[in-house]
Amino acid sequence: MPGSGKTYRVAVIAGDGIGREVMPEGLRCLVAAAEKHGFNWDFQHFDFASCDYYEKHSEMLPKNWVEILKPFDAIYFGAVGDPRRAPDHITLWGSLLQFRRQFDQYVNLRPVRLIPGVTSPLALRNPGSDKIDFWVVRENTEGEYSEVGGRMFSGTSREFVTQETIMSRVGVDRILDFAFKLAQSRPRKLLTSATKSNGISITMPYWDERVTEKAKEFTDVKVEKYHIDILCAHFVARPQSFDVVVGSNLFGDILSDLGPAVTGTIGIAPSGNINPTGEWPSLFEPVHGSAPDIYGMNIANPVGMIWSGQMMLLHLGETEAANDMLSAIEIVLGRADASEITPDLGGQGNTQGLGAAIEKAIREGN
C-alpha cells in the first residue's frame, strides 16, 4: 500500500520483567503496520533503564543518556523495576521520571475504551450497548508531584513534613491547551475538568480560573467541571458520558487508572508521555508494570504494549496504521478464542500466541 514512505527512528527500551516479554510482540505488530501502510522503522535497542544495568553500573542511566535519546522520534518503553533487586525510588525516579521531566513530556495521555471481549466489572456494560470511549489528559511534570518540601525534627515529637504543590501558568495553560484541542478534534467536543476547589483553597481555584480563561479560545468546546470525589463516582456510574477529561498530576493519575479499571482494561491499558512540541521525543508504554511475579512464565498479556505502539503511530501521524492496529486488537479480543488469549482474560494462550494473532489481524484484517 502506498504510504508516507517515512522512516521513524525509535529507541526501544524493554527494561525489566515482562517488559522484555511483551516488547517483541509490540515490535512485530508495528512492523506489520508499517509494511501494510508504506513506511519504515529504524529501531535501536538499549539495555539501560533496567535492574540489570543498575547492578552493573550502580545507576539506571548512562551519563550521556539525554544526548543518546534526544535524536529519536519516539521512545518505546516496556517496564521498569523489581523490588527484589532495587527499590522503586531508585528504578522509577532514576529512569522513567527522568525521561518525563528532562524531555518535558508534560502530557500523560490514557485512552479509556470498552474493548470487545474484555468484561467490565460494571454490571450490564458491553461495547454494543454502552460505548465507553474517552481520553484522560494528565499534567505530567509539576503539580502535586513536585520535589519541593522537606522534613524537620526527625524522630522527635516535633517532627513534621511538607510537600508543596507547584502550579505554574505555563504548566497549567499548556496542558489545558492540549486537552481543549483534543476535545475540539472529537465529534462530541466535550471537556471535563477535575478540580477540588471546595477543599483546596489556593491551587485548585487557580486551576479553575485557567480553565475558564482557556475556554475563551475554544468557544465550540463544551466545558464541565466536577470535584474529584464526585467525578470518580461518575466514572463508575456513567463512564459513557465522558469525552476528554483533564486533571492535575495527582487527579489525572487517579482518573487514568480508574477509567481503564471500569472498562476492565487496566491490565492492557497503554499510555503516552508526550512532548507535543516535538522538541523532545515522546515515550509510549503499557501501564501494567514489570510484574516480576509472572516473568518467565510466558503468560504476560502483550496488548498493553501493542496498544502503546498504536498510540505512538497516532502521535507520529500514521493514523490509518493506528486505526488498523486498534481494530486488530478488538477483532482478536472480541472473538475470545481461548487458545489465543492469555490467562488474565480467561484463556489458555501465551504471550507470543496473542501477539501473533494480532499481527495476523493487522496484516489481513481478520
pLDDT bin (cut points 50, 70, 90) of residue 265 is confident
pLDDT at 31 over 80: yes
* pLDDT confidence tier of residue 3, bands split at 50, 70 and 90: confident
pLDDT of 299 strictly over 90 = yes
Q: What is the DSSP string of 160-200?
A: EEEE--B--HHHHHHHHHHHHHHHHTSTT-EEEEEE-TTT-
Angle between helices 351-364 and 319-335 (to 10 degrees): 120
* Cell of residue 36, nine digits: 501494510
Q: How confident is the model at residue 304 (pLDDT cuts 50, 70, 90)?
A: very high
Question: Which carries the bigger pLDDT value, residue 117 or residue 128?
Answer: 117
Beta bridge partners, 246, equal 137, 193
Report yes or no: 303 and 116 within 8 Å, Cβ to Cβ.
Answer: no
Q: Is the pLDDT of residue 352 over 70?
A: yes
Task: Give the phi and the psi of residue 116 in degrees, each rounded to 5.
Answer: -55, 135
Percent of the chain whose predicted confidence (pLDDT) is above 70: 97
Q: What is the mean pLDDT of the segment spanning 192-213? A: 97
Whole-angstrom CA distances from 37 to 28, 148, 181, 308 are 14, 47, 27, 18
CA–CA gap between residue 208 and residue 225 (Å, rounded): 8
Kindly report the pTM of this predicted structure.
0.94
Cβ–Cβ < 8 Å for 190, 222: yes
Q: How confident is the model at residue 123 (pLDDT cuts 50, 70, 90)?
A: low
